[in-house]
A and B are shown apart, each in its own frame.
Chain A
Amino acid sequence: MTDTSVADTDRLSGNKDMIVCEGVNKWFGDFQALKGVTATIKEQEVVVVLGPSGSGKSTWIRCINRLEAHQGGTIIVDGVELSNDLRNIEKIRSEVGMVFQQFNLFPHLTVRDNVTLAPIWVRKRPRAEAEQLAMDLLERVGIPEQADKYPGQLSGGQQQRVAIARSLAMEPRVMLFDEPTSALDPEMIKEVLDVMKDLARGGMTMMVVTHEMGFAREVADRIIFMESGEIVESGTPEHFFTNPTEERTKLFLSQIL
């Protein structure tokens, strides 16, 4: 169960479906960013989405918590369908955490307040409890001593770890990562990836858009390769890196490896 280094899809076979996407379409003006994306992600599954830039992978995971509205098909998260119903959107957003490339911490709040904001105002938890939770989470991402600093005083890697803690504070069932290490200096990438690996081992359902092949190979249960708004190929890391079937996948791998 904790050994995720191999493509052990059996461990997920009994789990229920966490995210179900069925023929998801999305246009930006005339440009179609998503062309009928269909995929099912099981509970506790770690999915890494790969693909060249502009292939629609960020757009896809941004659709899953409605930062972008999809225009065709259905998205169901933990049994709740994402539609124009504001109540469903709020419910899904409070169960789906998201980590951004640019961290997007709130610069006017301390690290602690960044983490406690949502528990206090959305979950309506007592402040002391929320602060205890925040300290636990900061401990988990390895920076409890920075709690009273402001985001501007932290390094990029520390900021991204705070952002992860902020998302975890809502106790989400799914975590979405939108290129979490792309804005980081090389020596800070590891500290963020370590936190993410830790999360994956803890059984979190994760969808990760990244260019970190090492992370994908080590942690992912499944790799989804996208190009031009379509899912080209989907399979275990072993299958994907050693024996891809599609021509476009081979081309992509030949360019990055």
Chain B
Amino acid sequence: MTTEGEGTLAGMQPKRVPLYRDATVVKWVTQVIALLLVLGALFFLVEEAGANLKAKSIPNDFDFLGINPGFNISEGIDKDPNTGGRALWVGMVNTLRLAMSGIVFATLLGLAIGIARLSDNWIVNRLASIYIETIRNIPILVQIFIIAVLLGSAGRLVGDTGPINGWFMVSSKGLAVPRIFPSDGFYQWLVVLAIGTLLARAVRKRRVTHQDLTGAISYPNLWFGAVLLLVAVVGWFVHPVFGFLNNLFNEIGDAWGSIPQSGAKLVLAAGAVTASLLWIRRFLNSKRSPAGLAKLTDDDMFRMIFAVIGGLLVAFVVTIGWPGLSSWIINSGQDFWHFLGDKFGDGRTGNPVDAMRPTIVGEGTLLNYGSQGLVMSPGFAAMFIGLTLYTASFVAEIVRGGILAVPKGQSEAAAAIGLNRAQALRHVILPQAVRVSLPPLGNQYLNITKNTSLGIAIGFADVVNVGGTVLNQSGKALPVIAIWMLFFLCCSLTISVVVNWFNVRTRIVER
């Protein structure tokens, strides 16, 4: 097969290539060998670890997830978790909170500082340089310690009167701000917002068409925001009209609950198989050109085989392998719709969103904040400020590098065809700078997520800290470490996928 097309000269016999030189054979054989090696190594490691642990009678099961961990957590969604799994979940949520807020604020701060460093203004430029050079050259752990010490020694700073009137407080117990939370009418208001978004999109489309037809700059995004804002404000007062959705959702929930189990199984299995077949059809169609079906590579065959296997596997799992799944789907679907119905229940006429003022309990030398306000604990604050400042210095350099990476000729060409500075930045410079900045920016996001584990140094209850306590209490080292690894792997993969998606969107087409 690989030799065809060779013997073009008359009388020349197509030579048979020996197997060890046949590219296709070599490729397949090496892949299979690599796979076997990896599987073998994994099997060996797991087997060895299991045997050794058993020999030393160290337990490596996951029982601790279900039993009382026997400790409290200083902050988080549940300060007194009743199972080990719950405790780890609290730690994960704390880590995610820290990582996500760090990512958002480090990006914003870094963007500002990066642009400042490119400024023509000497003072702004110098200040940005000093910031970057100072912050990024001090180890992050040292910075976190310094901030923790500074926050810990801070005096109490609170305005009980005037416009502040106890809404914001700072002390060694942390930073307290009002807790803003979805209230009675929130879900009805969400419906209003959804309608408003549709309306605003329609308006934006009209504005874009208007601009395309007449050439007048018609600010479609500004209009989008204005319409949405208007609907949101009106909706703030009229949202109770959507209370009727209560009955609708409850009825959908009832209908969902009455689906027979066997029917659900059948639908799920058929769906999985159909999806895999549809994917293959689409895949083949994408290979089809007017000249006929293109030659399929080994890689393409792999993909199609995996699609079939995947579809069959899912079908097997939902029908035979995991009988509880279909009833779980039915039950949770029913619960979900009833939950939604509940959110639209009677008497939900209050404000969609409310705010609570932080309260002080145990005022005196050891004052503490009550549950009312949103309190950023000293540990979280130190980690958040430290990570944000530190990562922002790297983001700033990435932003600067991205903008400088756009050749000077681009801004000259933009100027030469008459674009002003802002237009050149928006249409020419930034789209190209973003493309260059995205991959290193993704790395910084990964770094922030991983650096949250430094929280253990100042007693912030992140997943590593909580996991460490669980490990100490239960003695199950390997399972806890496995959970840590899996958690951080999931975080990192999610970030990678998101960044790559943006990266593909901003890619530049070349030949």
- Residues of A at under 8 Å CB distance from B? 65-67, 90, 93-94, 96-98, 100, 102, 104-108, 117-118, 120-130, 149-150, 152-153, 163, 166-167, 169-170
Contacts and interface: CB of A to CB of B under 8 A. Distances in A.
A239 B423 CA distance: 46
A152 B508 contact: yes
Contacts of B213: 126-128
A163 B413 CA distance: 9
Interface string B204-229: 00000001111111000000000000
Contacts of B509: 149-150, 152-153
B215 A120 contact: yes
Interface string B381-423: 0000000000000000000000000010110111111111001
Given A108-B435, A153-B509, A122 B417 contact: yes
Interface of B: 211-217, 407, 409-410, 412-420, 423, 427-428, 431-432, 435, 506, 508-511
Contacts of B418: 90, 93-94, 118, 122, 170
Given A100-B416, A128-B212, 18 more contacts: A65-B415, A67-B415, A93-B416, A97-B416, A100-B409, A104-B407, A108-B431, A108-B506, A117-B417, A118-B417, A118-B418, A121-B217, A122-B419, A125-B215, A126-B213, A126-B215, A127-B215, A152-B511
9 contacts: A67-B415, A67-B416, A93-B418, A100-B409, A104-B409, A106-B410, A106-B413, A118-B417, A121-B423
A87 B432 CA distance: 27
A118 B409 CA distance: 16
B212 A167 contact: no
Interface of B is mostly: helix
Nearest to A150: B509
A88 to B, nearest CB: 13
Kindly list the 3 A-B residue pairs having the minimum CB-CB distance in the complex, ordered from nearest. Answer: A152-B510, A127-B212, A104-B413
B409 A124 contact: no
A105 B428 CA distance: 10
Nearest to B511: A153
A149 B510 CA distance: 9
Nearest to A155: B511
Contacts of A124: 215-217
B80 to A, nearest CB: 54
Contact of A167 (B216, B407, B416, B511): B416
Given A90-B418, A150-B510, A126 B214 contact: yes
B217 to A, nearest CB: 6
Given A108-B431, A122-B419, A150 B215 contact: no
A121 B213 CA distance: 13
Contacts of A94: 418
Nearest to A127: B212
A104 B412 contact: yes
A126 B419 contact: no
Contact of A121 (B409, B419, B432, B510): B419
B431 to A, nearest CB: 5
A126 B209 CA distance: 9
